[in-house]
């Protein structure tokens, strides 16, 4: 790691610590801040998100050949396992996501999306981001709410009928995968996608 990368990692740590000092987690419910019921509900939601994270990752491995190898070398993986439509006539969707680094939960995020060209009425879909370099991950952590669609560094993965991934996209520092609720990979842009922090369970290791 060179000097600039070390500095970026240090900034990422300090930004993380500042934003997570007293997080108002979107995973909490209306049961009352700090109450036993609230803590239990939040824990249940985290467990549910953990399970869906693993299920989405397994689905991606099943339908995209070689994606497990990419995930195995990624510096971080952010998964929104269940983006739900606001309504049958509204294509906009939203959901909670989980960022994992070194196999551990790093932080939680919320995504909202109004993608172009997706079928109206789709029940849900999953969105996976693979951060293939530490620099790409650190820049994401340091940054404010993120509009992925305007980030030219994000490569949306295309999958052919045989499950073979696009070779050029596989070399990008940041790769996005779409999956529909029936496991089909969706080739679409990230236009209209925004990502914001929703909560922080534990700080990352200090660089």
Q: Where are the domains of the chain?
A: 3-25+54-199
Distance CA 25, CA 38 (A): 11
Q: What is the rounded distance in angstroms from the CA atom of residue 201 to the CA atom of residue 207?
A: 18
What digits encode the pLDDT tens for the residues 82-121?
988 765 555 578 899 999 999 899 999 999 877 554 555 5
Q: What is the pLDDT of residues 111-153, one digit of tens each?
A: 987 755 455 555 678 999 999 999 999 989 888 777 765 666 7
- Three-state DSSP state, 153: coil
Q: With contact defined as beta carbons under 8 Å apart, do 78 and 110 qualify?
A: no
Residues 153-164 have pLDDT tens digits of 789 999 988 899
Q: What distance lies between CA 132 and its chain's CA centroid?
A: 13
């Amino acid at each position: 790691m060179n000097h600039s990368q070390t500095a970026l990692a240090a900034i990422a740590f300090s930004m993380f610590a500042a934003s997570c000092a007293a997080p108002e987690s979107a995973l909490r419910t209306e049961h009352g801040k700090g109450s036993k019921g609230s803590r239990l509900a939040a824990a249940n939601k985290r467990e549910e998100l953990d399970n869906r994270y693993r299920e989405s990752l397994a689905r991606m491995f099943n339908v995209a050949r070689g994606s497990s190898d990419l995930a195995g070398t990624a510096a971080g993986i952010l998964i929104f396992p269940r983006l739900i439509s606001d309504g049958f006539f509204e294509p906009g969707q939203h959901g909670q996501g989980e960022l994992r680094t070194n196999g551990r939960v790093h932080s939680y995020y919320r995504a909202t999306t109004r993608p172009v060209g997706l079928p109206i009425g789709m029940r849900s879909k999953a969105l996976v981001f693979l951060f293939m370099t530490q620099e790409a991950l650190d820049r994401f952590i340091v940054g404010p709410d993120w509009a992925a669609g305007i980030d030219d560094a994000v490569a949306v993965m295309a999958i052919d009928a045989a499950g073979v991934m696009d070779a050029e996209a596989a070399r990008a520092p940041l790769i996005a995968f779409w999956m529909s609720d029936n496991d089909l990979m969706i080739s679409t842009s990230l236009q209209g996608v925004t990502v914001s922090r929703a909560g922080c369970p534990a700080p990352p290791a200090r660089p």
